[in-house]
Amino acid sequence: MKKPIDMRIQPSEITPRELYDRRHFIQLAVGASLTALFPVPAFAGDAMDAAKTSVYTLPDEKTPFKDITHYNNFYEFSTDKEGPAELAHTLKTRPWTVTVEGEVHKPKIFDIEELLKLAAMEERIYRLRCVEAWSMVIPWIGYPLSELIKQVEPTGNAKFVEFTTLYDPMQMPGQRSSVLEWPYVEGLRIDEAMHPLTLLTFGLYGQVLPNQNGAPIRITVPWKYGFKSPKSIVKIRLTEQQPVSAWMKAGPEEYGFYSNVNPDIDHPRWSQAKERRVGDFFKRPTLPFNGYAEQVAHLYAGMDLKKHF
């Protein structure tokens, strides 16, 4: 029997204090409501920080905070990588709600503060790879999306999960273009959405999510290409039928529903066998499922991944 990989974060791996002040993060993220659940003394010292962090970390060196927050794909603001950091200040993240509906017994509208209270019980820090044509290693803060889905009690007909992001061209100037059909829609199969690596994410590097990274709440699916991790979500809908995502509508021959990281399947316009880590000069081999094959490959057992790309 294979022993599970020890993915606990070691004290030496904790983010530098100047970037990871948990007390400041909690105050910014949720204000008095969540701070009350986490008294200040509970966050004093690296030893407590180490004890509170867990699972699914990587030995890889973290991508610098500046790169993570200034080199972004967020077409709602701009198609330029540097554009979202310059333009996303227009996004207002309070008030904010996320509607969860569809094939559920208990549909509900969650206020952002309520979602963060759930985080108080489930908070974890993950250092995950994220890949597009380039890659980063980001210390996300969030908790498994499954914890939220369980709250609404999916019906037996719930086979897929559809995510819809905010549509507001006044706040998001990129939505005034026709580069994609708005609002941005993405989807997962229900077992993918319930996997513990699929995160409801609200922070990175010990801070609340910067606007250009998907504030105030986003999905993170690290074994898929980055566009499968929708940002600034406002609705989650459980469905019986497979959703049609924004990128599938834009280019069905180029962007499939699954979009798993697979070095053996080339994009029609470029090879996906290698990737460039942001900050590196040379490319490196792309890992199947972005290096998470041991955790997620069983989800696709018996599937032709060249057909279901």
pLDDT digits (tens, 9 = 90+) for 267-304: 889 899 999 999 999 999 999 999 999 999 999 999 99
Angle (nearest 5°) at CA 136 between 257 and 118: 70
Alpha-helical runs (H) found in 123-183: 145-152
Would 4 be classed as within a structural domain?
no
Write down the pLDDT at residue 125: 62
Would 290 be classed as within a structural domain?
no
Would 276 be classed as within a structural domain?
no
- Mean confidence (pLDDT) of the chain: 83
Q: What is the CATH number for 250?
A: 3.90.420.10
Would 152 be classed as within a structural domain?
yes
Confidence category of residue 133, pLDDT binned at 50, 70, 90: low
Would 300 be classed as within a structural domain?
no
Would 294 be classed as within a structural domain?
no
Higher pLDDT, 86 or 205: 86
* Residue 49 confidence (pLDDT) above 80: no
Confidence category of residue 122, pLDDT binned at 50, 70, 90: low
Higher pLDDT, 226 or 30: 226
Whole domain around residue 216: which residue ranges? Answer: 11-258
Q: What is the spatial distance between Cα 269 and Cα 244, in angstroms, rounded to a whole number?
A: 22
Residue range 166-190: average pLDDT?
Answer: 98
Please state, for a pLDDT cut of 90, what percent of the chain lies above it: 69
Residue range 8-23: average pLDDT?
Answer: 39
Confidence category of residue 39, pLDDT binned at 50, 70, 90: very low
Would 273 be classed as within a structural domain?
no
* Residue 42 confidence (pLDDT) above 70: no
Q: 3: which 2 tokens?
A: 């022993």
Q: What is the spatial distance between Cα 180 and Cα 159, in angstroms, rounded to a whole number?
A: 26
Q: What is the spatial distance between Cα 290 and Cα 135, in angstroms, rounded to a whole number?
A: 10
Residue range 62-72: average pLDDT?
Answer: 95
Model confidence pLDDT, tens digit, residues 247-268: 999 999 999 999 999 999 888 8
Backbone φ and ψ for 67, nearest 5 degrees, come out as -65, -40
Is residue 114 packed enough to be buried (19+ CB in 10 Å), middle (13-18) or exposed (0-12)? middle
Q: What is the spatial distance between Cα 154 and Cα 277, in angstroms, rounded to a whole number?
A: 38
Please answer whether residues 141 and 202 qualify as being in contact, where contact means their C-beta atoms are separated by less than 8 angstroms.
yes
For the chain, what is the domain count? Answer: 1
Residue type for position 113? E
* Residue 44 confidence (pLDDT) above 70: no
Positive or negative, the CA dihedral 95, 222, 139, 123 is positive
Please answer whether residues 218 and 201 qualify as being in contact, where contact means their C-beta atoms are separated by less than 8 angstroms.
yes
Would 126 be classed as within a structural domain?
yes
Residue range 221-238: average pLDDT?
Answer: 97
Helix H, strand E, coil C: the string for 42-110 is: HHCCHHHHHHHCCCCCCCCCCCCHHHHHHCCCECCCECCCCHHHHHHHHCCCCCCEEEEEECECCCEEE
* Residue 1 confidence (pLDDT) above 90: no
Is residue 164 packed enough to be buried (19+ CB in 10 Å), middle (13-18) or exposed (0-12)? buried
* Stretch among 98-102, 127-131, 186-190, 192-196 having the lowest mean pLDDT: 127-131
**If phi over 0 gives left and psi between -120 and 50 gives alpha, with beta otherwise, what is residue 134?**
beta
For the chain, the helix, strand and coil percentages under 3-state DSSP, each to the nearest 5 = 30, 25, 45
**If phi over 0 gives left and psi between -120 and 50 gives alpha, with beta otherwise, what is residue 121?**
alpha
